[in-house]
Each structure stands twice: as structure tokens, then as C-alpha cells.
């Protein structure tokens, strides 16, 4: 699993997660307990990409990015990014 960028994000910036696996899957990623079930699309056979754009009010410090998938009705093991991520966005007014 590849997660970019590596630096902390602010509102309006996008986190991209790339995952390689078996073709025809339905993976999703999570960002700690803050953001759940962001769908990923198969860009090429077996290569999945998902993005999350930080919204105002989103805040997380040093949280893991986790990914999981379903292929043929069977859930895959949960994968965790090598490094934690952070994002801080001003609260909505």
C-alpha cells in the first residue's frame, strides 16, 4: 500500500491511497477512527486508487491508514500503512 503525500494535510488537500491486489476486488480505506470506508477504484487490473480530500473540521494526529477489500465475497486481511498520517483543518464557522 502506498499513501501520499507524507506530510500533514490541511483543508482542501487530498490524500491518495494506492493498493495492489487481485483484480475484481472492492477495497476501501480508513484513516484512523476519523474517516471510514473510502471506496477505491480499480484503475488497472489489480491496481486500486482512492482519494480523500480533507474537509473543514477534519482533525487527526498520527493515525494509521488502513485498507481492506472483498474479493469473491471473501474479506481480505486489513493492511496498515508504514507511517501514520495527520491532518488539521480549521473548524467550520
DSSP-assigned letter for residue 12: T
Instruction: State the CB neighbour count (10 A cutoff) for residue 22.
Output: 11
56-66 pLDDT tens trace:
989 989 999 99
Say which residue the cell 474479506 belongs to. Answer: 75
This model's pTM is above 0.85: yes
CATH of segment(s) 2-88: 2.60.40.10
Distance of CA 35 to the CA centre of its chain: 8
In this predicted model, what pLDDT tens digit does every residue of 5-31 receive, in sequence order? 988 999 999 999 999 988 999 999 999
User: Distance between CA atoms of 69 and 21, rounded to whole angstroms?
Assistant: 9
With beta carbons less than 8 A apart as the criterion, state whether 87 and 54 touch: yes
Amino acid at each position: 500500500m502506498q499513501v501520499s503525500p507524507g506530510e500533514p494535510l490541511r483543508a482542501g488537500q487530498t490524500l491518495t491511497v494506492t493498493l495492489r491486489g487481485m483484480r475484481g476486488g472492492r477495497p476501501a480505506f480508513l484513516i484512523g477512527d476519523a474517516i471510514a470506508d473510502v471506496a477505491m477504484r480499480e484503475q488497472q487490473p489489480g491496481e486500486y486508487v482512492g482519494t480523500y480530500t480533507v474537509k473543514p473540521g477534519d482533525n487527526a494526529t498520527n493515525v494509521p491508514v488502513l485498507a481492506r477489500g472483498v474479493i469473491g465475497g471473501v474479506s481480505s486481511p486489513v493492511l496498515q500503512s508504514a507511517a501514520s498520517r495527520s491532518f488539521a483543518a480549521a473548524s467550520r464557522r
